[in-house]
Amino acid sequence: MWKRKVSIKEQYGSLKHFLKGDEDCHYIGQRYIEGTNIFARREWRGVKDTSYAFYRWLVTWVKMGGLVARDPVRIVKAFFRYRWLSAYLIAPAMIDRWIEGDRGMALRCDLAAADCMISDSVDTLWASLRADRKLGETEWTDKTVAFDYTLPKHLIFGFPGTYAINMQQHAAFMLPLIRKELGSYYVDQAVSCGIPGDMCTLPLVETGVAVVGEYPDIGNFWMTTNNPCDANMMDNNAMYRELSANGKKAVHPLTTPLMYDDPTTKELGVHELYEAIEFMEQQFGRPFDWEAFREHLRATNQVNREELERWDIYARTDNGCLNAVLQGLFRIYFYQQGGTKYFAKTSPKLLKMFYECVEKDIKPFPKTRHRALAWSCGSTYYIQGVSWLYNCWGILCVINMDSLTGHNIIDTEDEEIMMEDLADWYSHTPMRTHTVGGNRHILQMFETAEKFNCDTIIMYDDIGCKGMAGAQGLLEEEFNKYRDRFHIIWMPHSLMDPRIVPPAEARRAVNQYMTDVLHEEPLDPTLVDFDDSMGW
Ligand code: SF4
């Protein structure tokens, strides 16, 4: 039975603070059911903010209900067929974790971004399930095709009326974000087939989904790529077998140069794009619609321009109002989807809120003590770790490495420049841009931290990422040159499998730095040391 550790009187002090939800300390840690990461009750944020958060929570349920209502029989069949789909049943709880501690403009901005991703996810899941042969062939089956999830799917917009699904995105990558232990199940499936268990857990989860045959069977081709790293390449065989239906479907590798800033690779990148377009023209039996494609690029450019304005606000002020979780996820999700209708609609709304905060000098994260840059690949199962950094220690991650990709504006007038810009875009996939595109890109962390006016660097230590592990000595050497300028804190994790590095271990590493090196007191003592090993 859950019991309050801090009384209401002690927490709020007065009725006014209770009604406004602006108490000094939120005591977030006491809301967890002992031993789990499950909240015993919803967060009280004062009357106004609690009502707003509850309303958005109901909207999420309605959207999820809308997915089932599109074809209840097919969706129920999908739930029995695909274990990963069950994760989405707790999407509202996932959003609650992402917004813990949020108040006022931060809450509104974060929930707008989350709502956009929920709407897009509902559409994407439906597009993939309605076309799935395993659930019964339909008119959508041939029109919906599979793309590797590290490839942005922009090219599909040159074939209006067809759809591309970034296959691993919802069926693999997103799983630990929602249910932290679900990635582990698929890791075990991959390892049981003989894939080495010491590999990065991200490709292991992708492979696990493939070996148990849980990717929907859609379209007639698989657009694959050379993936950002050696670990990811190890899953190519399993992915090929599953997504080409054992060689029955056409497969095209849209490869992109790893040394993307080498002038000699641009031509190759452009050539690859034309080849991919030609391949798709043959598959769909119709020509590429350049005007429809340009239209999509213009919409994507617009969201990117707005994103750059938001970065500018983050860099110059304390008025940015997306929290660290939503800032990162909104950005990376957009990178994959492009300026589709939900992003085109939500992005200006977010920007308006940012400017409102600037004009009225609202500081959405008033407890900030340190502004941080988060670098390297972050954990998925502890995505809310960045919220914990803020709520427990006042470390606000204003930007992270994976956000800083794919933001170049594409020229839509001159085809030659457009294709060069696009090739550049495709080569800057998440993880590839900084971690595997050459050591000099990893070391961009210092100038990036300066640009965003940070005094702290949270250095993610994914113990399965061989590329980053190989650079550890170099990094430590470089850190020594910057210790006077930045607090640099390693935060360990294992990307998709919390059994290897539990969230408590990541918190322990930060706690140790904050107490032993900086001698700081936590903002919320209930968050310093708690057991969340069980739960979702
Ligand atoms: S974390 Fe490292 S090893 Fe894993 S997919 Fe990313 S770049 Fe590859």
Write the DSSP string, 387-441.
Answer: HHHHHHH-EEEEEEGGGSSS-PPPPSS-HHHHHHHHHHHHH--TTTTTTSS-HHH
Q: Supply the pLDDT for residue 433.
A: 75
Alpha carbon distance 315, 174 (integer Å): 29
Q: Is the pLDDT of residue 27 over 80?
A: yes
Residues 98-152 have pLDDT tens digits of 999 999 999 999 999 999 999 999 999 999 999 999 999 999 999 999 999 888 8
| Element containing residue 488 per DSSP (H, E) | strand 487-493
Q: Which of 409, 294, 298, 402 shows the shortest CA–CA distance to 344?
A: 298
- Per DSSP, the three-state class of 487 is strand
Residue of the CA atom closest to atom 8 of ligand 1: 229
Q: 454: Cβ below 6 Å to ligand 1?
A: no
For residue 307 and ligand 1, the question of a CB distance below 6 A is answered with: no
Q: Which residues contact 167 (CB under 8 A, 6 or more apart)?
A: 146, 147, 148, 149, 215, 216, 243
Encoded tokens for 292? 């429809």
Q: Is 184's C-beta closer than 6 angstroms to any atom of ligand 1? A: no
- Long-range contacts, stretch 444-452, CB < 8 angstroms, 24+ apart: 445/373, 445/375, 445/401, 446/478, 446/482, 446/485, 446/486, 448/373, 448/375, 448/399, 448/404, 449/373, 449/486, 451/315, 452/311, 452/314, 452/315, 452/371, 452/373, 452/398, 452/399
Pick the range with the lowest mean pLDDT from 159-163, 267-271, 297-301, 333-337: 333-337
**Top mutation candidate among 206, 229, 493 for ligand 1, by most atoms within 8 Å of CB:** 229
Mean pLDDT of 357-386: 96
Six token digits for residue 462: 């994914």
For ligand 1, what atom is nearest to the CA of residue 464? 3
State both tokens at 51.
Answer: 């009502």
207 alpha carbon to ligand 1 midpoint, in Å? 14
Beta pairing partners, 399: 373
* Nearest atom within ligand 1 for CA of residue 435: 7
User: How far, in Å, from the CA of 202 to the mean position of ligand 1?
Assistant: 7
Q: How far apart are CA 185 and CA 178, in angstroms?
A: 14
How far is the C-alpha of 361 from the C-alpha of 350, rounded, in Å? 16
* Whether residue 436 has its Cβ less than 6 Å from ligand 1: yes
Look at ligand 1, atom 1, and give the residue with the nearest C-alpha. Answer: 465
- Cα torsion 308, 491, 45, 317 to 10°: value is -30
Query: In angstroms, what is the span from residue 465 Cα to ligand 1's centroid?
Result: 5
Q: Which of the listed residues 149, 198, 202, 206 should we mutate to test ligand 1's pocket, taking the one with most ligand atoms within 8 A of CB?
A: 202
Residue 73 clears pLDDT 90, i.e. is over it: yes
Does ligand 1 have an atom closer than 6 angstroms to the CB of 494?
no
Q: How far is the CA of 431 from the centre of ligand 1 (A)?
A: 7
Q: What is the pLDDT of residue 496?
A: 94
Which tens digit of pLDDT belongs to each residue from 404-461?
A: 988 889 999 999 999 999 998 888 877 777 777 677 788 889 999 999 999 999 999 9
What's the predicted TM-score (pTM) here? 0.95
**Residue 225, CA distances (Å) to 6, 112, 254, 405, 426 in order:** 53, 32, 5, 17, 10
Least reliable range by pLDDT among 12-26, 320-334, 435-449? 435-449
Tell me which of 169, 377, 400, 434 to substitute to probe ligand 1's pocket, judged by most ligand atoms within 8 Å of the beta carbon.
Answer: 377
Find the 236 Cα to ligand 1 centroid distance in Å.
Answer: 14
Q: Considering the chain, what percentage of its residues have pLDDT values greater than 90? A: 80
Find the mean pLDDT for residues 495-513: 96
Please give the Cα distance from 135 to 519 (Å, whole number).
58
Q: How far is the CA of 58 from the centre of ligand 1 (A)?
A: 36
Q: Are 122 and 341 in contact (CB under 8 A)?
A: no
Res. 535 pLDDT band, cuts 50 70 90: confident
3-state class (DSSP) for residue 460: strand
Give the number of the atom of ligand 1 that is nearest the alpha carbon of residue 229.
8
Other CB atoms within a 10 A radius of the CB of residue 267 amount to: 12
In angstroms, the CA 337 to CA 223 distance is 15
Q: Determine how many CB atoms are found less than 10 A away from the CB of residue 507.
A: 22
What is the distance in A from the centroid of ligand 1 to the CA of 495? 9
* Rounded average pLDDT over 168-193: 94
Q: Which two tokens stand for residue 287?
A: 């020509």
Half-sphere exposure of 334 (CA within 13 A, CB side): 34
Give the pLDDT confidence score for residue 468 in this predicted structure: 82
Our answer on whether the CB atom of 200 is closer than 6 Å to any ligand 1 atom is yes
Please indicate whether residue 199, judged by its CB atom, sits closer than 6 Å to ligand 1: no
- In short, whether 239's Cβ falls inside 6 Å of ligand 1 is no
Is the CB of residue 150 below 6 angstroms from any atom belonging to ligand 1?
no
Give me ligand 1 centre to Cα 509, in Å.
22
Confidence of residue 400 (pLDDT cuts 50, 70, 90): very high
Any atom of ligand 1 within 6 Å of the Cβ of 229: yes
Mean pLDDT of 244-248: 93
129 lines ligand 1 (CB under 6 A): no
Sorting pLDDT into bands at 50, 70 and 90, what band is 232? confident
Instruction: For ligand 1, pick from 332, 402, 465, 466 the residue to mutate: most ligand atoms within 8 Å of CB.
Output: 465
Q: Over 80: is that where the pLDDT of 227 sits?
A: no
Among protein residues, the one with the nearest Cα to ligand 1's atom 2 is 465
122 CB under 6 A from ligand 1?
no
* Fold that domain 367-536 belongs to in CATH: Rossmann fold (3.40.50)
- Residue 166, helix vs strand vs coil: strand
| Measured distance CA(195)–CA(211) in Å, rounded | 11
Tell me which of 168, 187, 462, 496 to substitute to probe ligand 1's pocket, judged by most ligand atoms within 8 Å of the beta carbon. 462
**Using an 8 Å Cβ cutoff, are 475 and 513 in contact?**
no
Res. 258 pLDDT band, cuts 50 70 90: confident
Q: Of the residues 207, 401, 431, 500, which should be mutated to test ligand 1's pocket, given the most ligand atoms within 8 Å of the CB?
A: 431
Ligand 1 center–CA 339 separation, angstroms: 26
Give me the residue spans of the domains in the chain.
Answer: 367-536
